[in-house]
A and B are shown apart, each in its own frame.
Chain A
Amino acid sequence: MVSKSINNTKLGVFVLFGLLFLIILLYMIGKNRNMFGSNFRLKARFENVQGLKPGNNVRFGGIEVGTVKKVIIINDTMMEVQMIVNEDMKSVIHKNAMVSIGTDGLVGNKVVNITASKEPALLVEDGDILPSKKQVDTDEMLRTLYKTNNEVALIAANLKTTTEHINSSSALWNLLNDKTLPANLHQSGNNIRMATQQANEMMTALGNIVEDVKNGKGSVGSLLADTSFAVNLNAAILKIKAVGSEADSLAQQISAVVSGLKNDIETGKGTVNALLKDSGMVNKLNRSLNNIQQGTEGFNQSMEALKHNILLRGYFRKQERKEKKQQAGDK
């Protein structure tokens, strides 16, 4: 009888352990599915849910906070994901939190990620629809990769052609094989450095000049900085203008005289015409000039005779001495 009782106890413990494991298993699964404890519902809408199924995890900041309850079709371009989230998250998740569909690892199950926004917003309430973010689609990624690959292949082909051209160019290889090239380049570098240095110095000097000019130093400086110069220049220009107008009137007078003379000449009247065209007048003038010459010679002789006259000789000697003294004083 005692043995039978012990056997029953052993059997009871055996069954209990078996059932305990089953209960733990079911409890853990239920807990993961948020079947125990209080929850609230959140929704998000997507164009493509990428194979998301009820039971997939919902994460907030990488922590599992709920599960997907249902995925329903709203219309041909809109799917609604209904989630069950722990009640505690009501005080954490805001209305502007972004929902996206991701993958747990590279080949893992789909998960819904809720990402907090930095902008302030009210806390979520039961049944709220959160804004969703389109995840990078693998197909789209592959399409982009395919396009990039084609472009890379094209670039590689061009590069190959360029390389072939370079390889077949003897001029380039001669240039590359030229052993004096480095020395020349070095020298050129030095020259460039010196030229740069000189240019710097020149620029400094130019800067100084400009500075001087700005400060009103030198002729150009005065020219640019002195305000009275502008006034003088203006006055000079006005005077030049006045002289110009006087020259104009003089030219007009001369023109009137010349036209008068021209008129006289053409009409055969006046003194000028007589002077230019009357041959008798010319003879008379010649004779008069001869008479003046003869008169002058006679006058000279009379004057020489006066110098030797005893009355006037003293005066002339006094004049000579006075001249000599003046010349000695000049020397």
Chain B
Amino acid sequence: MYLVNTETVKSFFNELGALSLFTGRFFTQCFRPRYELAEFFRQCFIIGYKSLPLVALTGFIMGLVLTLQLRPSMVDYGVESQIPVIVGIAIIREIGPVITALIFAGKIGSSIGAELGSMKVTEQIDAMEVSGTNPFKYLVVTRVLACTFMLPVLIMLSDAISLYGSYLGVNVKGVTSFSLFWTQVFDNLSFNDVLPAFTKTFFFGFAVGIIGCYKGFNSSKGTEGVGRSANSAVVMSSIMIFVIDLLAVQVTDLLGFN
């Protein structure tokens, strides 16, 4: 009796190896012409711009709720005036990037997985290959790059909206001017807070894109496989976001940016 099935372990490593090969293929194809710029911008619009309402809404609620939840404890400790400082650091360093990346993974990871999965099971990818178009370059590289570059932008906007939500949260029971709020936030931030947090968002976007594409590109077993690809893309992307976040903290600490 084994607690862990050997087949499961074997399939995990198979999956990891296949994903690594898929990533390697991405980098190979990425720098080779011809570049699908039009498709890249289209994907940027779909992945980035179209995700903004969802990300903005979640970001706003996140900032507002975080402030309101933090307020009683801060009042108990007599440091109510430090709410903007604490919320600002929390949102910029950790909560903004991670929550936005998770929302992004839920929306875009599943979308890419389902889209590419359906194209795979309906043999559209094979058809593209037959027609002379490089399906990997056209479908995967553009989406992964769009995810990689759009998630940081989304996270920046999400941070700004979250901080605005926090400003409203501070003013629900207290009175803090707009300029004082922003002065307090910016005065207590440093490059060590912003730059590592901003850098890791590229990795989050890349992980969501590459996993979504991998799952969709390797979808099988008809429509059932499409659903499974979408689902596993979200789950795996979310796990990868936390793993990358953990690694980012360690690397940042090792480099002395904390």
Interface residues in B180-202 (C-beta closer than 8 Å to A):
186-191, 194, 198
Q: With both chains docked as a complex, state the minimum distance between the C-beta of B49 and any C-beta of chain A, in angstroms.
A: 5
Question: Which B-chain residue is minimally distant from A30 (CB atoms)?
Answer: B191
By a CB distance below 8 angstroms, the chain A residues around B190 are 29, 33, 55
Q: Is the CB of A15 within 8 A of B194?
A: no
Q: Is the CB of B44 within 8 A of A29?
A: no
Q: Give Cα A19–Cα B92 distance, bound, in whole angstroms.
A: 14
Question: Which A-chain residue is minimally distant from B191 (CB atoms)?
Answer: A29
Choose one: B45, B157, B188; the contact of A7 (CB below 8 Å).
B45
Question: Which B-chain residue is minimally distant from A32 (CB atoms)?
Answer: B187
A7-B45, A10-B49, A15-B48 known; A29-B189 Cβ under 8 A? yes
A29-B194, A107-B79 known; A14-B153 Cβ under 8 A? yes
By a CB distance below 8 angstroms, the chain A residues around B103 are none
By a CB distance below 8 angstroms, the chain B residues around A21 are 156-157, 159-160
The answer, yes or no, to whether A206 is at the interface (CB within 8 Å) is no
Chain A window 90-134, contacts with chain B (Cβ cutoff 8 Å), 1 for yes, 0 for no: 000000000000000001110000000000000000000000000
The answer, yes or no, to whether A11 is at the interface (CB within 8 Å) is yes
Q: Give Cα A26–Cα B190 distance, bound, in whole angstroms.
A: 8
By a CB distance below 8 angstroms, the chain A residues around B52 are 14
By a CB distance below 8 angstroms, the chain A residues around B186 are 25, 28-29, 32
The answer, yes or no, to whether A17 is at the interface (CB within 8 Å) is yes
Choose one: B45, B82, B194; the contact of A26 (CB below 8 Å).
B194
The answer, yes or no, to whether A243 is at the interface (CB within 8 Å) is no
By a CB distance below 8 angstroms, the chain B residues around A245 are none
Q: With both chains docked as a complex, state the minimum distance between the C-beta of B51 and any C-beta of chain A, in angstroms.
A: 10
By a CB distance below 8 angstroms, the chain A residues around B48 are 11, 14-15
Q: Is the CB of B191 within 8 A of A26?
A: yes
The answer, yes or no, to whether A22 is at the interface (CB within 8 Å) is yes
By a CB distance below 8 angstroms, the chain B residues around A109 are 188
Q: Give Cα A10–Cα B92 distance, bound, in whole angstroms.
A: 25
A residues whose Cβ falls under 8 Å from a Cβ of B: 4, 7-8, 10-11, 14-15, 17-19, 21-22, 25-26, 28-30, 32-33, 55, 57, 107-109
By a CB distance below 8 angstroms, the chain A residues around B198 are 22
Q: Is the CB of B153 within 8 A of A19?
A: yes
By a CB distance below 8 angstroms, the chain B residues around A17 are 157
A7-B42, A29-B194 known; A14-B49 Cβ under 8 A? yes
By a CB distance below 8 angstroms, the chain A residues around B45 are 7-8, 10-11
By a CB distance below 8 angstroms, the chain B residues around A10 are 45, 49
Taking A8-B41, A21-B157 as known contacts, 15 extra A-B pairs with beta carbons closer than 8 A to each other, sorted by chain A number, are: A10-B49, A11-B41, A11-B44, A11-B48, A14-B157, A15-B48, A15-B153, A18-B152, A18-B153, A22-B198, A25-B156, A25-B189, A26-B194, A29-B190, A32-B186
Q: Is the CB of B156 within 8 A of A18?
A: yes
Q: With both chains docked as a complex, state the minimum distance between the C-beta of B23 and any C-beta of chain A, in angstroms.
A: 25
Q: Give Cα A33–Cα B191 distance, bound, in whole angstroms.
A: 10
What are 17 A-B interface contacts by the 8 Å CB criterion? Answer: A7-B42, A11-B45, A11-B48, A11-B49, A15-B153, A17-B157, A18-B156, A19-B153, A21-B156, A21-B160, A22-B156, A22-B198, A25-B92, A30-B191, A33-B190, A55-B190, A109-B188
The answer, yes or no, to whether B105 is at the interface (CB within 8 Å) is no
By a CB distance below 8 angstroms, the chain A residues around B41 are 8, 11
A10-B49, A11-B41 known; A19-B79 Cβ under 8 A? no
Q: Give Cα A323–Cα B48 distance, bound, in whole angstroms.
A: 174
The answer, yes or no, to whether B141 is at the interface (CB within 8 Å) is no
By a CB distance below 8 angstroms, the chain B residues around A32 are 186-187
The answer, yes or no, to whether B154 is at the interface (CB within 8 Å) is yes
Q: Give Cα A72–Cα B184 distance, bound, in whole angstroms.
A: 29
Q: Which 9 A-B pairs have the closest CB atoms?
A: A18-B153, A28-B186, A18-B156, A21-B160, A11-B45, A7-B45, A14-B49, A21-B156, A22-B156
Interface residues in B87-145 (C-beta closer than 8 Å to A):
92
Question: Which B-chain residue is minimally distant from A54 (CB atoms)?
Answer: B190
